[in-house]
């Protein structure tokens, strides 16, 4: 399925809390699951975890920026196309960076914490078209 502005029902929801991206060299997910990552990916440079900011602060983990997560209520299919491009394009028009993670059922958009409310407005506006 192709996503277009006129057939969306995104149902964006701003999750509570802030998150940071933390990378660990020569690490496995199992070693760090107590950090309660909301997302992770193994890259050739190391394991990247997206963890709650409060845990990073408590464990003195340094980070450059904090992010808020907006989860879409829209149940998407991994074989569909166009949704990521549409969302990132609209956020780009508002000069909001977005890191989009696709789960099996929903998409999750990490935006700078100081732009979270603005990003939610953009997505809600896109939802109304």
In the chain, count H helices and then E strands: 4, 7
Q: How confident is the model over 6-38, as pLDDT tens digits?
A: 557 899 999 999 999 999 888 877 778 788 899
Segment 57-67 mean pLDDT? 94
- CATH value of 5-128 in 3.30.2130.10, 3.30.70.890, 3.90.226.10, 3.40.50.720: 3.30.2130.10
Q: Is the pLDDT of residue 120 over 90?
A: yes
A 10 A CB-CB count for 127 gives 16
- Reported confidence tier of residue 127, pLDDT bands at 50, 70, 90: low
Task: Return the pLDDT at 71.
Answer: 96
Strand bridging mode 19-24 / 12-14 = unpaired
Task: Return the pLDDT at 129.
Answer: 57
Domains of the chain, residue spans? 5-128
**44 is written with which tokens?**
């050739």
Average pLDDT, the chain: 89
- Reported confidence tier of residue 5, pLDDT bands at 50, 70, 90: low
Can you tell me the distance from the alpha carbon of 89 to that of 33, in angstroms, rounded to the nearest whole number?
33
Name 48's bridge partners: 23, 41
Q: Is the pLDDT of residue 111 over 90?
A: yes
- Reported confidence tier of residue 52, pLDDT bands at 50, 70, 90: very high
Closest residue by Cα to residue 1 from 84, 102, 89, 77: 77
pTM exceeding the 0.75 threshold for the entire prediction: yes
- How far CA 39 is from CA of 49, 82, 89, 90, 127, in Å, comes to 6, 22, 23, 23, 25
Closest residue by Cα to residue 30 from 18, 42, 21, 19: 42
């Amino acid at each position: 399925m192709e996503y277009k502005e006129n057939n969306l029902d995104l149902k964006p929801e701003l999750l509570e809390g802030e998150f940071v991206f933390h990378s660990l060299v020569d690490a496995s997910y199992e070693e760090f699951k107590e950090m309660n990552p909301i997302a992770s990916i193994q890259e050739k440079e190391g394991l990247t975890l997206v963890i709650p900011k409060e845990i990073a602060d408590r464990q003195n983990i340094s980070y450059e920026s904090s992010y808020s997560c907006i989860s879409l209520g829209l149940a998407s299919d991994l074989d569909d196309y166009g949704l990521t491009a549409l969302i990132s394009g609209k956020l780009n028009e508002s000069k909001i960076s977005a890191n989009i993670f696709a789960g099996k059922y929903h998409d999750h958009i990490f935006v700078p914490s100081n732009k979270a409310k603005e990003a939610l407005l953009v997505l809600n506006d896109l939802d109304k078209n």
